[in-house]
Amino acid sequence: MKYLLTLTTLSAALALAACGNSDSDTSKTASPPPSLSDASPSKVEAKAKETIAAKAPRGDKDKALTDYVELDSGKQLMFLNLALSGMPADYASIASNISRNYSNENDNFKKNDMLKALKPGIDQEIEGAKERRYVYIDVSDTPLQTFDFNQSAFPINLLSSGSYRYFHDLSGYRAEFDHIEPFALLKVSDENMAREIEQLRTKYQLQARIYMFAMDVPVGSNNVRFEPMAIEIRDKQGRVLATAKP
């Protein structure tokens, strides 16, 4: 009986040891279990946005800059948003944004008549916006940081991750930017031009023109997502001093 007990104990010990080794080997090779945080709404939403952004159309880098049209109002952004989102137009809301007379009218019959008159123009603007995806904006902000001798370039401080721009006439619609990495630096090989730009920079005498392509509309957003195509650095008289391109 004592001998049997010893063998049983030994067998159990060996079995436990074998199990221990197996678990150890598995822990070395198995991938970590998924975390519940991976399925959190914020992470799922971020992943969905990345997927949608990756599928969005990109601009034509060979498009002539003279073919771009100026973007200078929130109303234009609104029509771009409507054109690219594919969502049904909320005519009453749009009319309130574009017509002060409509938004101020209290007689509902008159308001309805005004809306009927405005609808054809609204439809025309939405259709036209589909063909005007290459646009530029003029920016009066100081566009450059001081010249970096290590990189022989001016760091550009116009675009950053999460940055956006809007117009005061309709600030609820905004331009946001993607694929901004090529526009971190403005390379200037001509030392005389670099000196002139640096001098103008210190006197706040620079402005910029950003050429961009309207890619898409983030889901459920009033924003329009743009891909920068080129950035011109200009003096206050509009003379082009240098251009950053991918």
Q: Is residue 15 in a domain?
A: no
Domain count for the chain, please give it: 1
Q: Is residue 137 in a domain?
A: yes
Average pLDDT score over residue span 66-95: 97
Q: Is residue 108 in a domain?
A: no
Mean confidence (pLDDT) of the chain? 85
Q: Is residue 58 in a domain?
A: yes
Q: Is residue 113 in a domain?
A: no
The per-residue pLDDT for 162 is 82
Q: Is residue 155 in a domain?
A: yes
Q: Is residue 174 in a domain?
A: yes
Name the band, by pLDDT with cuts 50, 70 and 90, for residue 50: low
Q: Is residue 182 in a domain?
A: yes
Range in 121-130, 156-165, 194-203 with the lowest mean pLDDT: 156-165
Name the band, by pLDDT with cuts 50, 70 and 90, for residue 23: very low
HEC-encoded secondary structure of the chain: CHHHHHHHHHHHHHHHHHHHHHHHHHHHHCCCCCCHHHHCHHHHHHHHHHHHHHHCCCCCCCCCHHHCEECCCHHHHHHHHHHHHCCCCCHHHHHHHHCHHHHHCCCHHHHHHHHHHHHHHHHHHHHHHHCCCEEEEEECCCCECCCECCCCEEEECCCCCCCEEECHHHCCCEEEECCCHHHCEEECCCHHHHHHHHHHHHCCCEEEEEEEEEEECCCCCCCEEEEEEEEEEEECCCCEEEEECC
pTM for this prediction: 0.77
Range of the domain at 193: 47-85+133-238
